[in-house]
Amino acid sequence: MMRRSRLRISRLGLAASLALVAISACAIAGPLARPQQQNGDAPPGLNSLARQRGLLWGTAVNDRSLEDPALRRLIRDQAGAITPENALKWDATEPEPGRFSLEQARQELDFARAHHLAVRGHPLVWHNQLPTWLTQLPPTELRQALERHVRDLAGGLRGQIHTWDVVNEPLDEQGHGLRRTLWLQALGPGYIAAALRWAHQADPSARLAINEYGLEGDDPASARKRQALLTLLRELRQQGVPLNVVGLQAHLLAPAEGDPSFRSLPGFLAELRRLGLQVQITELDVSDRELPADPALRDARVAATYDAFLRVVLAEPAVTLVSTWGLSDRDSWLNQAFPRADGLPQRPLPYDADLRPKSARSRIAARLQAKGPTP
């Protein structure tokens, strides 16, 4: 369980509280993390391989993963960037109005500082994991609350965040325009541009991202969603809104039949590049929920999906970071969100529940070592 802070601090005092974790902030926010030192004859870490291509390799972390000594070492050895899974979400940072705290994020921020890792801030604006008090505000007060939250959180961590997911999942699931969220209904579509401007004013050094899922597939819904996002991005560009990055969550599904395919993805990535945007793969994992029970078969299909996806994205010069949503199967969110019908735990990540490298890890490493463009 993540710890809830009992410390009460005013909004004006947030920056002072954050100073406790702000030492060496420039090292954390730097564009590339320091290469990991390898132990003995251990193979190069994924981030060391990614750095040879001019990339960062990262992973999501939480208190449970960092309190596990073996998993903590694995993260240290493999990753150059971390994303706190829940500790920077609104219900964690302001559970009551005016009571700001980074207590839940302290362990992640300290870990990043100690090991010179970049930090992806996730997220400033989302429609989920909001505190109850916020959802009960009248619409006339929501804009003020949102602006205060973005400015205080981004400003309080100024200089410590490599990339902020400023707006997370703003699109309708089927690609029919913007998602009807609390923010859209109360503030209108301009909330996205406003949040990006507030974040840039609060921390001009941070890269600013719109982060979205369901953009990678060849199905009609993914195609509609890509077009909806491109329409939004072109509008933001025309308005001069500060935006540096598009985040592709890349929660993938290993197909039960046939080879994994991402035929539509190269053209979409090229469109993002032509808009002058970087691309980050932010939450990569591969669900095996539609595959048979045999773990060897599942591992092979998951590895093939990683390989097919990375073959496409690593060929695109706009891609600057790849981050999995965890490193080990022992702590995957998929087992709660999308459990297998047979009750078996999923095997979606590069390392198994005992922290042993799987075929997915080998295919990822091979892709990182393959010849390709350097962003």
CATH number for the domain spanning 271: value is 3.20.20.80
Instruction: Tell me if 153 sits within 8 A of 109, measured CB to CB.
Output: no
- Residues of the chain with pLDDT > 90, as a percent, come to 85
| pLDDT per residue as tens digits for the range 68-103 | 999 999 999 999 999 999 999 999 999 999 888 999
Which whole number is the average pLDDT over 193-197? 98
Return the beta strands (E) in 15-170 as ranges.
56-61, 81-84, 118-121, 163-168
Give how far Cα 46 sits from Cα of 60, 91, 153, 199, Å: 14, 32, 30, 31
**Quick check: is 89 in a domain?**
yes
**Quick check: is 313 in a domain?**
yes
| pLDDT per residue as tens digits for the range 19-53 | 444 433 443 444 444 444 455 567 899 999 999 99
97 CB-side CA count, 13 A: 11
**How confident is the model at residue 331, as a pLDDT?**
86
- Which has more pLDDT, 16 or 363? 363
**How confident is the model at residue 373, as a pLDDT?**
60
DSSP 115-131: HT-EEEE--SB-SSS--
| pLDDT per residue as tens digits for the range 247-286 | 999 999 999 999 899 999 999 999 999 999 999 999 999 9
Angle in degrees, 0-180, between the axes of helices 265-274 and 220-238, rounded to the nearest 10: 0
Question: Residue 70, Cβ neighbours under 10 Å: how many?
Answer: 11
**How confident is the model at residue 28, as a pLDDT?**
40
Residue 316 in tokens: 């695109």
Residue 146 in tokens: 């949102």
Which whole number is the average pLDDT over 210-236? 98
**Alpha-carbon span 167 to 152, nearest angstrom:** 16
Instruction: Tell me if 78 sits within 8 A of 46, measured CB to CB.
Output: yes
DSSP 223-234: HHHHHHHHHHHH
**Quick check: is 348 in a domain?**
yes
**How confident is the model at residue 264, as a pLDDT?**
97
Residue 7 has pLDDT above 50, yes or no: no
- The boundaries of the domain holding residue 298 are 14-369
Q: Which of 8-12, 253-257, 299-303, 371-375 has the lowest mean pLDDT?
A: 8-12
Q: What is the dihedral of CA 303, 267, 319, 308, to 10 degrees?
A: 10
Contacts of 111 by beta carbon, 8 Å cutoff, 6+ apart: 61, 66, 72, 75, 82, 117
Instruction: Tell me if 181 sits within 8 A of 127, measured CB to CB.
Output: yes
**How confident is the model at residue 1, as a pLDDT?**
38
Q: pLDDT-based confidence at 335, cuts 50/70/90?
A: very high
**How confident is the model at residue 80, as a pLDDT?**
98
Give the angle subtended at the CA of 308 by the CAs of 281 and 304, to the nearest 5°.
110
Strand partners, 247: 211, 280
Count of domains observed in the chain: 1
**Quick check: is 2 in a domain?**
no
Residue 2 has pLDDT above 60, yes or no: no
Q: Across the chain, what does the average pLDDT equal? A: 90
Residue 290 has pLDDT above 90, yes or no: yes
**Alpha-carbon span 317 to 278, nearest angstrom:** 9
**Alpha-carbon span 364 to 307, nearest angstrom:** 6
